[in-house]
Chains A and B, each alone.
Chain A
Amino acid sequence: MALTAADVTIGDTRSLVLTEDLTRTQIVQYAGASGDYNPLHTDDLFTREVAGYPSVFAHGMLTMGMTGRVLTDWVGDGQLVRYGVRFVNQVWPGDRLTATATVTAIAGDTVEFDVVTVNQHDAPVVSGTAAARLRV
């Protein structure tokens, strides 16, 4: 349900494990749904032998999509005003991803967050900010 200003304080934080072990199949699901069929994400033969990577890797947008849940589970549906990230490091099959949102500001009917997703090495993979409307 939608948050009110009474529900949040600067510094409040929530974390969510997005995946314990990212699968190639989930990457394929994302390619199919999003329409981004770049072989770098789904085609190991191309990615290893032509592009020179050790394996396929996830779309940055897949990680951004997965990360959004830490925000929407917290602020409620239909409340996000903005959400943006930088793609910091690649995400590989087998990665364990954890997203964390932290309240950085509350002003009127808007709450602002820092958001970061890290892998099993605690390295950030996406990092950004978001803002949501509070129910008054």
Chain B
Amino acid sequence: MSVDRFPVEETHIVMFARSIGDPNPVYAGVPEAADTDLGRMIAPPTFAQASAQFDPDYPLRPQIGQRWFGSGATPTGAVSGNAGSADDADGTRAESGGNKGVLHAEQHFEYHRHIGPGDVLTATTSAGNTWEKQSKRAGTLKFSESITEYRNQDGELVITARGVGVQTERPVDS
């Protein structure tokens, strides 16, 4: 994932904070935040993940004019419509969709600076380690790590994010 421009904005923080159920006034608006001890609005700890909105290739967002693997008139808009089938013409596997069967195993953030409205970030992602484990429930688990560095408009490293995805040999029972 690469994001050339992720403007951190007041409205986005307000909506994100509502979605995670945090009524902290520091996220409720610029005027509300000005009255807090910190004295300014900052983003909640996991907000950097919302840079996905500015990733042009992000697979889990419908693209205008393109088939989407979620439901519409039928349970999936993917071309083949068969669960577990091979990739469709557009590469969208119906069952696992945009992430092709990879589950989110871990997520870590290091905060070098706290971001707020007015910051404009870039995100650069590189592959980290890969490893395997055996699971009774799901067979062989293949883990893969990716490191994302978020820099601000001054080129300063603000957040380092490390995500771990896991691909299971067979579906984990729910």
Contact = CB atoms under 8 A, between A and B. Distances in A.
Contacts of A52: 83, 95, 171
Interface stretch (A4-12, A35-43, A100-108, A117-125): A35-43
Contacts of A32: 15, 19
A39 B98 CA distance: 10
A62 B140 CA distance: 27
A16 to B, nearest CB: 10
A93 interface: no
A57 B103 CA distance: 13
Contact of A35 (B20, B22, B52, B105): B52
Contacts of A134: none
B11 to A, nearest CB: 10
A32 to B, nearest CB: 7
Interface residues of B, number: 51
Contact of A87 (B44, B104, B109, B111): B104
A64 B109 CA distance: 11
Contacts of B20: 30, 62, 65-66, 68-69
12 contacts: A29-B18, A30-B19, A39-B97, A50-B83, A53-B174, A65-B46, A69-B21, A77-B37, A77-B38, A81-B111, A85-B106, A87-B106
Nearest to A51: B95
Please name the 9 residue pairs, one residue from A and one from B, whose CB atoms are nearest each other, closest first: A84-B108, A39-B70, A65-B20, A29-B19, A35-B52, A35-B53, A49-B75, A30-B19, A68-B45
Contacts of B49: 34, 36, 61
B105 A87 contact: yes
Interface of B: 12, 15-16, 18-22, 24, 26, 36-38, 42, 44-46, 49-50, 52-53, 58, 60-62, 69-71, 75-76, 81, 83, 94-99, 103-111, 114, 162, 171, 174
Contact of B111 (A40, A45, A82): A82
B114 A43 contact: no
B61 A35 contact: yes
Contact of A85 (B19, B69, B107): B107
B60 A65 contact: no
Contact of B16 (A33, A49, A51, A87): A33
Contacts of A37: 60-62, 70
A81 B46 CA distance: 12
B15 to A, nearest CB: 5
Given A1-B37, A61-B46, 9 more contacts: A45-B71, A65-B16, A65-B20, A65-B46, A66-B20, A82-B109, A83-B109, A84-B108, A85-B107
